[in-house]
Chain A
C-alpha cells in the first residue's frame, strides 16, 4: 500500500500567519492517465471531513483562496496564506492513484 507521510503532525500558528503542510508519498502518484490523484481534506472538531483541494492544486467548491496546493510525483504541499480561526482542525492528504486509497496520519492545526 502507498504510505503518505505528513509533516508536521502538530502545527501551532497565530491568526494571520502563513503555514505549510507536507505530504510525501512512498510511490509516485502520477497516474497513467496523466492525472495525479492527490487530495487535501480538513476535519474540524466534531465534524466530517471537508475537501479542500483536488488533483494536487485545484480548489474545491466554496473553499477560500487562502488555501493552495502544489507538488508532483511524491512530494506535495498544502499552504494556508493567512490562517483564520475557522481553519483549526486536522488536515489529511489522501491518494487515489493506487488501490487501496490511503490517507496521511493527519496534521493538527492549533492556535499558538
Chain B
C-alpha cells in the first residue's frame, strides 16, 4: 500500500537549520509530484509548494521563498524539506502529500523552534 513516512520531531534554536525527510513506498516515486503543507499549532493547513519528482524542479508559494528548499533523493524514493535560519514562527508540523490531489499524506514532522 502507498505510504509516506516522515522523519521524527526536531527541537531547534532560532537561526539553526533543519531537514525533514519523507520516504515513499508502494508506488513509483517519480510518477507523482510531492507537495508540502505547513500546520502551525492549533491552526489550519497552508500549502508551501511542490517538487516535480521526475525533474527535481521545485515550486514555492510566495511565503516560502528564500529559506525553504525542496529536494530529492530519488534513488531512495525520498523527498526532503530543508529550512534554514529558523524563526519562532517556523514552529509547526510539516506534512508531505502525494500529487496535487493529495491522495496520501505523511504522518507529519514536528519542528519546534525555541531559544
Interface size class of A (residues with CB under 8 A): 20 to 34
Q: Are A54 and B47 in contact (CB under 8 A)?
A: no
Q: A7 CB to closest chain B CB, in angstroms?
A: 14
Chain B residues with a Cβ closer than 8 Å to the other chain, count: 20
Q: Are B105 and A48 in contact (CB under 8 A)?
A: yes
Residues of A within 8 A of B106 (CB): 48
Within A28-53, the residues touching B (CB, 8 Å) are 37, 39, 41, 43, 48-51
Q: Are A101 and B105 in contact (CB under 8 A)?
A: no
Report the Cα distance A21→B97, complex, angstroms.
24
B66 at the interface (CB under 8 A from A): no
B45 at the interface (CB under 8 A from A): yes
Mark B27-62 against chain A: 1 for CB-CB distance below 8 A, else 0.
Answer: 000000001010000001111010000000001011
Report the Cα distance A37→B99, complex, angstroms.
12
Residues of B within 8 A of A101 (CB): 35, 47, 61, 100
Question: Chain B interface (Cβ within 8 Å of chain A)?
Answer: 35, 37, 44-47, 49, 59, 61-62, 95, 97, 100-103, 105-108
Question: Chain A interface (Cβ within 8 Å of chain B)?
Answer: 37, 39, 41, 43, 48-51, 54-55, 60-61, 90, 92, 94, 96, 99-106
8 contacts between A and B (CB under 8 A): A37-B101, A41-B102, A92-B44, A92-B45, A94-B102, A99-B59, A101-B100, A103-B45
Known contacts A37-B101, A54-B103; 19 additional CB pairs below 8 A are A37-B100, A41-B45, A41-B102, A48-B108, A49-B45, A49-B102, A51-B101, A51-B103, A51-B105, A55-B101, A90-B44, A94-B102, A99-B59, A100-B61, A101-B61, A102-B47, A103-B44, A106-B44, A106-B45
